[in-house]
Amino acid sequence: MKLSKQQLFDLWGVDGPYSEANIKIQTRILDDSVSRVMVEVEANINPLTFRIVKAAKKAFTDDEHLQQLLDHAKYMGKNQGYVVSSFSKEYTDEDVMNEAKIHLKYTEKTILKMHKYAMDLLGIG
């Protein structure tokens, strides 16, 4: 299938879908001091992939992580796409970072599944 310019734009990639999954460390500053440090896992999913998978949500009823992502992601504009947080916890020790890494892997696997579905449907890749 030949994709339109808009479809290619909404995939973010040159020839296929591009999305991101990140671990970020957030410093919360209140008044004149650091109140706490948080570790967060967040994903930015390209708009076309998200819309394709959302339209086929019933095909993924057995995938709890994917269902939660579809239910909680918010559209934040064409530059950020659909944004979802899959983990947020105060960074008290390395166990928190290890837990975040586990959530990052789940998020990566979920996005890869979404990309594969969209690529198969669009006949790319």
Q: What is the pTM of this model?
A: 0.93
- Mean pLDDT, the chain, rounded, equals 96
88: Cβ contacts below 8 Å, ≥ 6 apart: 38, 39, 40, 41
Q: Indicate the length of the chain as a whole number.
A: 125
Question: What pLDDT does residue 15 have?
Answer: 85
Cα dihedral across residues 81, 61, 86, 22: positive or negative: negative
pLDDT given for residue 3 in this prediction: 86
**Which helix (H) or strand (E) covers residue 37, if one does?**
strand 33-45
Q: What pLDDT, on the 0 to 100 scale, is given for residue 88?
A: 98
- Cα(41)–Cα(112) distance, rounded to whole angstroms? 16
Helical (H) or strand (E) element with 75: strand 74-75
Confidence label for 125 from pLDDT (cuts 50, 70 and 90): confident
